[in-house]
């Protein structure tokens, strides 16, 4: 079975990296021959092996491991919360069943009316306690981040102090000038850091920057991170790597408005997965608008394929043939080094932006 990474137009021999791109080409360029071309393409369409990756928490299937990984981050939280809620509900149902037994016994009792009133009160309390326990689970989930030791690093502590001062200042201004602002229809635009994992990067970066990212080929992820997280876009500087070796990393949480400590491996894997999706979207955008060279297509196609096989080791020939578990682990290591080497600039830019906004 042959695996191919290009599709050839049978009319003009133009090559495409995907079947859908070839079909769009025939549809738009060779309109009169579209039925004939469709028949030729279907007859010569190669059989492609698709890897299937099942979610460990639900029945969803994905064809790319990074897509499954992104899904599982959310699915795991939902699965665990459902398990907790189900346990609380089961306990409440057991309690209600016990009370119902008491009701049956009370019906036989001569003092039935008084007994039933007491039992009904117990049922109401049990149902209220059930609701309370469910809310506790939700509150615990929301406050987990804040309860972490987010201020053990002095630099992060100083940044969080600036952020907290800004919150207090904004609250004070809102209380003292609320009436004036409503009458004058005044709007204040403050510097805002995007929460980690919620960045709308492709809506912000320019076409020139997108082209620069694709031109980097296998280094496209690093270039994207350099432009967005290290460069001029201060609103996306929501990751701080303060130690190259330790597994601690700081990310900005938009609920608590603080930088909190997290597991570096999980964060960087999520970062690489999100950014490879961005690079692929940029590639598809340029491909649909015929802005890619044939060299671009070949390089990027091979680059995307490296992420598919997570069981294949990767050898870094530029670092004394150091071996990584797979290509993703290699990229995570490179991103870690990139963010750590630029931590002073990132921290300086964030501090400057917050202080300027506080004035």
The predicted-structure confidence for 44-81, as pLDDT tens digits, reads as follows 455 444 567 888 888 788 877 788 888 888 888 888 87
Task: Assess whether 350 and 241 both reside in one domain.
Answer: yes
Same domain, 33 and 134: no
121, part of any domain: yes
Do residue 333 and residue 255 come from a single domain? yes
Claim to verify: residue 140 and residue 84 sit in the same structural domain: yes
Q: Is 255 helix (H, G, I), strand (E, B) or coil?
A: coil
Instruction: Print the domain residue range for 98.
Output: 64-147
Q: Output DSSP code: residue 199.
A: -
Residue 42 pLDDT level (bands cut at 50, 70, 90): low
**Do 197 and 323 belong to one domain?**
yes
Task: 33-40: list long-range contacts, CB under 8 Å, 24+ apart.
Answer: 37/9, 37/10, 37/11, 40/10
Cβ 220 vs Cβ 214: under 8 Å: yes
pLDDT of 35 above 60 = no
Residues 348, 240 share a domain: yes
Angle at Cα 326 formed by Cα 54 and Cα 323, nearest 5°?
A: 160
In a domain, 140, yes or no: yes
Q: Is residue 22 part of a domain?
A: yes
Residue 227 has pLDDT above 70, yes or no: yes
Q: What is the pLDDT of residue 32?
A: 58
Tell me: the pLDDT tens digits for 118-151?
A: 788 888 888 888 788 777 776 666 555 444 444 4
Total domain count, the chain:
3
């Amino acid at each position: 079975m042959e695996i191919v990474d290009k599709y050839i137009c049978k009319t003009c021999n133009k090559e495409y990296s995907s079947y859908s791109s070839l079909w769009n080409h025939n549809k738009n360029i060779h309109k009169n021959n579209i039925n004939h071309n469709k028949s030729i393409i279907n007859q010569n369409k190669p059989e492609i092996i698709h890897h299937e990756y099942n979610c460990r928490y639900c029945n969803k299937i994905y064809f790319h491991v990074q897509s499954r990984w992104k899904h599982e981050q959310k699915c795991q939280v939902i699965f665990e919360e459902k398990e907790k809620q189900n346990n609380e509900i089961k306990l409440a149902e057991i309690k209600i069943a016990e009370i119902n037994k008491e009701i049956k016994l009370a019906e036989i009792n001569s003092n039935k009316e008084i007994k039933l009133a007491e039992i009904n009160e117990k049922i109401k309390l049990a149902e209220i306690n059930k609701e309370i326990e469910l809310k506790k689970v939700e509150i615990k989930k929301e406050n987990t981040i804040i309860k972490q030791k987010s201020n053990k690093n002095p630099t992060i502590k100083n940044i969080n102090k600036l952020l907290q001062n800004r919150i207090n200042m904004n609250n004070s201004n809102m209380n003292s000038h609320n009436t004036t602002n409503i009458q004058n229809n005044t709007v204040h635009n403050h510097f805002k850091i995007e929460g980690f994992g919620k960045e709308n990067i492709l809506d912000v970066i320019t076409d020139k920057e997108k082209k620069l990212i694709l031109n980097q080929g296998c280094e496209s992820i690093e270039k994207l991170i350099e432009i967005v997280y290290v460069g001029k876009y201060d609103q996306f500087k929501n990751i701080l790597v303060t130690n190259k070796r330790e597994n601690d990393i700081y990310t900005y949480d938009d609920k608590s408005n603080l930088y909190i400590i997290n597991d570096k491996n999980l964060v960087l894997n999520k970062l690489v997965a999100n950014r490879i999706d961005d690079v692929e979207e940029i590639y598809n955008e340029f491909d649909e608008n015929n802005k890619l060279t044939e060299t671009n297509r070949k390089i990027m196609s091979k680059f995307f394929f490296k992420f598919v096989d997570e069981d294949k080791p990767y050898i870094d020939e530029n670092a004394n043939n150091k071996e990584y578990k797979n290509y993703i682990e290699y990229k995570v290591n490179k991103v870690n080094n990139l963010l750590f080497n630029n931590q002073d600039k990132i921290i300086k830019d964030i501090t400057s932006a917050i202080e300027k906004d506080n004035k």
